[in-house]
Amino acid sequence: MRAGLALVVLAIAALWGGAALPGAVSRIKDIADFEGVRDNLLVGYGLVVGLNGTGDTLRNSVFTRESLTSMLERLGVSTRGANLNTKNVAAVMVTATLPPFARQGTRIDVTVSALGDAKSLLGGTLLVTPLVGADGEVYAVAQGPLAVGGFQAQGEAETVTKGVPTVARIPAGAIVEREVDFALNDLRELRLSLRNPDFTTAIRMARAINDKLGPGTAVVADSATVVLTVPAAYRGRTAVLLAELEQLPVEPDQPARIVIDESSGIIVIGDKVRISRVAIAQGNLTVRVTETPEVSQPPPFSPGETREVPRTEVVVDEEPGRRLAILESGVTLEELVDGLNALGVGPRDIIAIIQAIRQAGALQAEIEVM
């Protein structure tokens, strides 16, 4: 299965090998972010009630017991010092993403995750939970019934679990209470941040913007940043400017890189990878040792004793038919894939071959091992 997956990845990359195709052109909105137009992460701690005996064990989850006691006290119910023994309550962490320009009163989705030893959140309801940002301020408040994608069924001798029943979502479960101030139309300068920093891509992006708005409008600050001065015609209409810029086509460049995940056997080879003239031979020596012990037993009433007699079979497989293959200087990705496939090697051997080619100084690419 892994061998097939690696070869499929290589085959797809081979189809895209060679010179850049017209279809490789991307929009600016797909390769860069406008600085300031960003999401904000929110987090909160709350309680889920209404569980059918699948909540936290209050004896083991001290934080759940203390939270339940404090909540009841705020509602006028004193349980301090009482022996609470309910299993219908669970302490949870609530997370959400506040999108840019979210206004007060709008709703956002939240994710609820069990914090204690609850077995399932199915059927539960999240109580009012403030969601805070990195600055400690409350930006949203979450509450509502949970939508759980998994379940757990348990009997005396068997338990069946599907998905993760201790994680749930509440679609539109939080109301935004505080807005993030960001005066987009007051900006006089914009910064575009490349998701994959590259000087060539940054220069091409600045050139495309200057062709659209005029020379000198965009300047490359570094490999990850293009600085744009807002033209006078777009003052107070920055949103219109961004909408026009994000549609501009740019052909992104990429470094010569090979990414290897040795744990799964996945190999991804970039389009720019080149190899100098090199000869490759691959072959495995397999030694198989099989132990089939036998029992030696003397005839009835005769002297002697029953013994175990070892029987060992050794088979050596040198895999005949392996040949030396030559890869010419400057071979492309497609030629490299064809050459490795011609040798009939699997993904593990391809990883070893690529690393050996690099050790020989014939690989003009960076190897990144995940």
Per DSSP, the residues of 51-88 read -SS-S--TTT-HHHHHHHHHHHHHTT---TT-----SS
Do 237 and 312 lie in a common domain?
no
Structural domain includes residue 7: no
Neighbouring residues of 315: CB distance < 8 A, sequence distance ≥ 6: 287, 288, 290
Predicted confidence at residue 235, as pLDDT, reads 87
Angstrom distance (rounded) from CA 64 to CA 84: 11
| 84 touches 68 (CB < 8 A) | yes
1 pLDDT higher than 50? no
Phi–psi pair at 135, nearest 5 degrees = -90, 0
* pLDDT for residue 90: 93
Q: pLDDT tier at 262 (50, 70, 90 boundaries)? A: confident
Element spanning 204, H or E: helix 199-213
Count the domains in the chain: 3
* Domain endpoint, select from 198, 225, 250: 250
Closest CA to 184 of 33, 36, 32: 36
- In this prediction, residue 35 has a pLDDT band, given cuts at 50, 70 and 90, of confident
Q: Identify the pLDDT of residue 355.
A: 79
- Do 51 and 129 share a domain, yes or no? yes
With a cut of 60, say whether residue 11 has pLDDT above it.
no
Whether the per-residue pLDDT at 106 is higher than 60: the answer is yes
Residue 23: is its pLDDT beyond 60?
Answer: no
The size of the chain, in residues, is 370
Q: Which domain holds residue 308?
A: 257-369
Q: Is 134 a domain residue?
A: yes
Is it the case that residue 45 has pLDDT exceeding 80? yes
The pLDDT of residue 7 is above 50: no
Domain edge (last residue) among 250, 271, 298 = 250
- Together in a domain, 56 and 107: yes
3-state secondary structure 78-116: CCCCCCCCCCCEEEEEEEEEECCCCCCCCEEEEEEEECC
Query: Which tokens sit at 50?
Result: 């209404």
Q: Is the pLDDT of residue 280 over 80?
A: no
Q: How would residue 294 be classed by pLDDT, with cut points 50, 70 and 90?
A: confident
Q: How far apart (Å, rounded) are the C-alpha atoms in residues 321 and 318?
A: 9
